Amino acid sequence: MGIQITPSILNADFAALGAEVGRIPGADWVHVDVMDNHFVPNLTFGPTMVEALARGTTTPLDAHLMIADPDRHAPAYAEAGAGSVTFHVEAAAAPVRLAREIRAAGARASMALRPATPVEPYEDLLPELDMLLVMTVEPGFGGQAFLDLCLPKIRRARALLDKHGVETWLQVDGGVSLETVERCAEAGADVFVAGSAVFGADDPDAVVAQLRAAAEA
């Protein structure tokens, strides 16, 4: 599939989200950060917003669920029109069943790891996943500094994916910018979420193109 850039709307103007999505026509996906004030100490939006956003754009939506009890709630995001649904393994009771339910609901199934969660215990699950997300900040807020300590895990995840010969994409999220994107790409990531780096810029779509060029270099 190659390099994909997935801007997060977490730091966009919430009063004009449809228009904000229109400012990034070069994006491969739009990353939608769902937070529930339980799994993370912040609150954003739910499936109704995903449904509304999906109606307003042809760019597929990448829903990142930072919520408790994803086993119960995640399939609703696929039904709402998200093309990819990511749950956190730390919150999931039955990640294999959940990944299969997300796929059955018509979306790509993805699993996220917080910075302190190792990838190795989940090696045998990787073929069940369309994408693995290695968080490079503690989830909850945009604009945090990239955690270099996550780079070795990106490398180990890439090695495990290659070992199993699976097509699972490897996404990074948190503090990804023109400063840090090359480090992530060199470690083996191929899908890059960037929030404040994109929506903090005067020309967000130009930053999307610059991130892509830097990751492909």
> Which residue ranges make up the site for ligand DX5 (CB under 6 A)?
8, 10-11, 31, 33, 64, 137, 139-144, 173-176, 193-197
Of 28, 36, 130, 173, catalytic: 173
Of 33, 36, 130, 190, catalytic: 33
Q: Which does 88 bind (CB under 5 to 8 A by kind): ligand DX5, Zn ion, none?
A: none
Q: Which does 175 bind (CB under 5 to 8 A by kind): ligand DX5, Zn ion, none?
A: ligand DX5
Q: How far is the CB of 201 from Zn ion (least distance, A)?
A: 18
Q: Which of 36, 128, 130, 173 binds Zn ion (CB under 5 A)?
A: 173
For residue 201, how many other CB atoms are within 10 A of its CB?
16
199 is annotated as contributing to ligand binding:
no
**In this complex, which beta carbon is closest to Zn ion, that of residue 30 or of residue 98?**
30
Q: Which of 23, 64, 114, 158 binds Zn ion (CB under 5 A)?
A: 64
For residue 4, how many other CB atoms are within 10 A of its CB?
18
84 is annotated as contributing to ligand binding:
no
Angle at 87 between CA 140 and CA 122, to 5 degrees: 110
For residue 165, how many other CB atoms are within 10 A of its CB?
7
How far, in Å, are 83, 131, 182, 210 from residue 213 at the CA level? Answer: 24, 22, 10, 5
Q: Which stretch binds Zn ion (CB under 5 A): 40-48, 60-68, 120-128, 183-191?
A: 60-68
Q: How far is the CB of 31 from Zn ion (least distance, A)?
A: 6
Q: Which stretch binds Zn ion (CB under 5 A): 27-35, 76-84, 140-148, 153-161?
A: 27-35
- Binding-site residue positions for a divalent metal cation: 31, 33, 64, 173
Catalytic machinery residues: 33, 173
- Binding-site residue positions for substrate: 8, 64, 140-143, 173-175, 195-196
